[in-house]
Chain A
Amino acid sequence: MILSVLLMVALSVDPPPPPDDTSLTSQRTAFDALTERALGTASRAVRFDWRRTTVGFGVSSSIVLDLNNFSSGRVGGFARIPAGSFLIELAITRVISWGSASSYQLSLTPYRQYGRPSRVELDLNVSYPLFEGVATAKLGFIPAAQFVFSITAGLRYLYYPGSLSKMTAPQVAGALFAPNLGETEVANMEPQLLPSMQIDRGRYQVMAGFSLDVFFQPGLFVTPRVLLGIPVTTLGNGQGVGLWWELSLLAGWQL
């Protein structure tokens, strides 16, 4: 009976207040952070969150696989900005074209082949990640890296230096945004064409393909890329190069 009474008294008493732990807030660390924080010398961070970066800069080099007898190489620079899950890229590239033994032989005949002379290209590309993950290298001196495999699409603008000479300001303004090169531009380019080259008149191209971004801490990245070029204004009308492939290697720093 006495035990029952004591129990009832005990249950009727208010529980004690929780301990005050705000004094430890400044000492707390999220678990994710703890896993990526080096603990002594036993581990280091390998994941690179490119989405949290502000901007990246780099250089690029490409080879253009036109299906004609001319060759082209590209060298340029770019800047890219993460936007949510997208990676937006602006690039300017100098393209150098040269001929071949075949194009020279062709120049001895009354035949010509479509191609593009040396030029400057402006690119606006957008990449969207399909796969992402962290990988470690077998070779010890290569650090672990973050791989991002993306689908890439872009719009390219071609500018041929010298093509706008002998044109008035209104003509230049019109020509800069015309989908194809005009007669005056083509005539201006004629002396610059490689032997046996007939100029592709397209001014805009759509690019589509894949990129593989390899990020290293604290921001270095290397990106091999393959793109298929689609000349949107000359495709199908027999006045252009048609489709072509482009292999690129980009390298830079993501800040």
Chain B
Amino acid sequence: MRVAVLALLFAACEKVPIVDIGATFSLSDATWFQDEETLFIFYRVEALQGLGPKSQIEVTYRTDDLEQPWANIADLPAVHTHLPVSCGQYMLCGSTSLHVKTVPRDVGIRLRYHHDGSLAAESTVTFNVVGSGPAHLSRSLLIYGVFDATNTHVQWRARHQFPTLRNQQVQDLGLRRFFRVETPSVGDLQGQIDGNPYAYAFARRCPDHFIPLGWAVAATTTRAIFAAESVPVTAFDAPVICGESTVTDAKGTFSAAALAQKNPQTRAAFPSLRSPITENTPIGFSIEPCERTIDAAELAMQKQRLQLVGAPIICNDHWQDPAFVDRVVSTLRTAIDGVRTGGKDMVLSLAVHHDDTTGQFQATVEKALAQILPFEREKSSPRLSGAFVFDTVAHLVSDKAVARLALWCPSNIAAVDLDTVSNASLRSCPVLPDIPDLILGPIKLSSLPILPTRAQFDTFIAKYSAQLTGSVTQIHYLAPERTPTSANIPIGDFGVVTFFNNESFAAAATDAFSFCTTEDSRVSFIAVRVADFPNNPFPLSTLPDFHSQMPRDTYQLGIGWDFPFLLRLEYQVVLAGAASAFSVSVPFGIGAPSKGYYGAQLWETGEIPLTDALTQCTRFCDLPTFDSAGVYNVSSHFRSTYGHQCYRPAYPVFDAAHIGEGGFPLDP
């Protein structure tokens, strides 16, 4: 205790130490422009603390004519405006511009910690010399123009150009340049701006053939200013506006032509592809033995699932009879034609109950369907959209024509006992809700697919209960309406592209397209065809390349699909449980409403928006573009850049009430 007290008292006599603020230059740049006779200085000093108004930046240099000793840059006359800037609490940064007639050397920049002190921290200066040359390469400021979204208002902009610093950095370090643009005129340069993307100083004056607009002078010390006037209607088709720009430098002023290039004129090529989706009328039949009973519980379940209770029956006791197929076809056609008079599209809904394990019976049913479905597919509405077959066992449809048009359930999962099937696996046809496989000690929870095989159904009710197998509450069939002009083009074994109603749009040879992959996956189903290759549709995403290589004047849009209708089941699924204790199992269940979709989700809604997906440029397609951040990309022209990129430009906004306030647009 005594030792601790003594140590505390000794510590209480310890002097407070002094610490170094650790001042270092993170930026120390100097650039001399020969054509402007100007030496630009940029600096940024960082320290742990202690930099403030009493710290000062000093500069020195030598030329063949003079030797500038170390001097506070604030005391040296600046060529341009340099605002005091704040880079942060522990930083000192800024800039200056000095009139230096001949190339300087031994340029030094240092920090004097306190203007009354003698201690200073010197920096390693990055020094560049920009010699005489073309104005757009050898001057420190470029002038160019951009247009607003409507291509009717010009914003004149200045852009700092330094070898080691970016435009925004220079602005952040306080440099402000005065510029003005006067006597703007409108016209077409016809390719005179190659190699000079901003076209700054492409000529001393604007071309004589340009038509003067008579606008007032636009002048500012910020980086941008809108011209107060708007482009006249007579100049809407002219691609550029030329203005005579003037900037100041150490020698006085420098004037040159500056150019404002219009934005690509674009529109949605085909804003929305609509194909009315209607609810189809189910035509239900139960194909079952009439002279014997195979599995009454399962047959009842099949009929319940397809809502076929009381539906007509086609007896299959003698399905090996060669006339069986014709009898089925005749029965179905009669029913179809009867329902057709109601004016609605239809779907066959068949419960198939049998005990054939060879697959011959299913092949027989396939034959019958093959005589009906392909023919109906080509008809205009009202027509038979397809068939939904709920079989006793899993079956893989072998007839390709039937496979395109019939949904054959249940799924082909081989397992009989669903408890052995991982919930992570795909139970394809009988869609299950995402119920995790729960095992809580002696309690195991499972659920029966809403469309099970007979084996799965029987095993399930043996383990749990027939009351826990769930039930279908509603069933809906949705399919697109076909018109008399609708045309189907088969693609591969299962795919079809349908051009429903001559949906098409026109394009000029000089147009350009931009395809954008949107969040709506249905856009990937859109196909395009041209008149001279009607049977060779191609994906919408390839249209930009196709048009640039082989432009056509009309493109027709269709929808690719692999199944003709969407089946929506609303059903009650039961999470069945069995609790085992002392060799006694007690089944119980938790019911939950659910919804399942079978077939093509494409037919869920009848409209596929294409506004964002396909953009058509009709004019000025080879001029620079804005990106979605509002950055003017002078080298990114619509035609060459946006074929497979999303074109979502953000333009400068003209505000008539605040023209003179200028601005600092994002321009890295």
- Which of B12, B13, B50, B116 is close to A112, meaning CB atoms less than 8 Å apart? B50
Q: Pick the interface stretch among B16-24, B233-241, B247-255.
A: B16-24
Quick check: B113 and A66 within 8 Å, CB to CB?
no
- Indicate whether A115 sits within 8 Å of B16 (C-beta atoms), given known contacts A109-B119, A110-B119: yes
Quick check: A111 and B13 within 8 Å, CB to CB?
no
Write the nearest CB–CB distance from B564 to chain A, whole angstroms.
Answer: 58
B657 interface hit (Cβ, 8 Å): no
Write the nearest CB–CB distance from B25 to chain A, whole angstroms.
Answer: 13
Q: Give every chain A residue within 8 A of B22 (Cβ-Cβ).
A: 110
- Which of A107, A113, A190 is close to B114, meaning CB atoms less than 8 Å apart? A107
Interface of A is mostly: mixed
- Chain A 212-242 interface mask (CB, 8 Å, partner B; 1/0): 0000000000000000101000000010011
Quick check: B11 and A242 within 8 Å, CB to CB?
yes
Quick check: A108 and B118 within 8 Å, CB to CB?
yes
Write the nearest CB–CB distance from A192 to chain B, whole angstroms.
Answer: 11
Quick check: B12 and A110 within 8 Å, CB to CB?
no
Quick check: B16 and A110 within 8 Å, CB to CB?
no
Q: Which of A232-255 contact B (CB under 8 A)?
A: 238, 241-245
Quick check: A108 and B114 within 8 Å, CB to CB?
yes
- Chain B 444-460 interface mask (CB, 8 Å, partner A; 1/0): 00000000000000000
Q: Give every chain A residue within 8 A of B209 (Cβ-Cβ).
A: none
Q: Which of B645-664 contact A (CB under 8 A)?
A: none
Quick check: A109 and B49 within 8 Å, CB to CB?
no
Write the nearest CB–CB distance from A107 to chain B, whole angstroms.
Answer: 6
Q: Give every chain A residue within 8 A of B14 (Cβ-Cβ).
A: 67, 242-243
Interface range on chain B (Cβ under 8 Å from partner) = 20 to 34
Interface of B is mostly: loop
Q: How far is the CA of A113 from the CA of B49 in the complex (A)?
A: 11
Chain A's closest residue to B51 (CB) is A190
Quick check: B20 and A68 within 8 Å, CB to CB?
no
Quick check: B116 and A198 within 8 Å, CB to CB?
no
Quick check: B8 and A112 within 8 Å, CB to CB?
no
Q: Which of A157-193 contact B (CB under 8 A)?
A: 186-187, 190-191
In the complex, how many residues of chain A place their beta carbon closer than 8 angstroms to a beta carbon of chain B?
28
Q: Give every chain B residue within 8 A of A245 (Cβ-Cβ).
A: 12
Q: Give every chain A residue within 8 A of B292 (Cβ-Cβ).
A: none
Q: Give every chain B residue within 8 A of A78 (Cβ-Cβ).
A: none
Quick check: B19 and A111 within 8 Å, CB to CB?
yes
- Indicate whether A198 sits within 8 Å of B12 (C-beta atoms), given known contacts A107-B114, A108-B116, A112-B49: no
- Indicate whether A241 sits within 8 Å of B89 (C-beta atoms), given known contacts A110-B119, A112-B50, A228-B8: no
Q: Give every chain A residue within 8 A of B17 (Cβ-Cβ).
A: 113-114, 238
Write the nearest CB–CB distance from A160 to chain B, whole angstroms.
Answer: 15
Quick check: B16 and A112 within 8 Å, CB to CB?
no
Write the nearest CB–CB distance from B237 to chain A, whole angstroms.
Answer: 53
B322 interface hit (Cβ, 8 Å): no
Chain A positions near chain B (C-beta within 8 angstroms): 66-68, 106-115, 186-187, 190-191, 195-196, 198, 228, 230, 238, 241-245
Other than the given A66-B16, A112-B18, A198-B49, 17 more pairs (CB < 8 A) read: A67-B15, A68-B15, A106-B18, A108-B113, A109-B114, A110-B20, A110-B113, A111-B19, A111-B21, A191-B52, A196-B50, A228-B8, A228-B9, A238-B17, A242-B11, A243-B8, A244-B12
Instruction: Give 6 pairs: A residue, B residue, CB < 8 Å, sorted on A.
Output: A66-B16, A109-B119, A110-B22, A113-B18, A114-B17, A228-B8
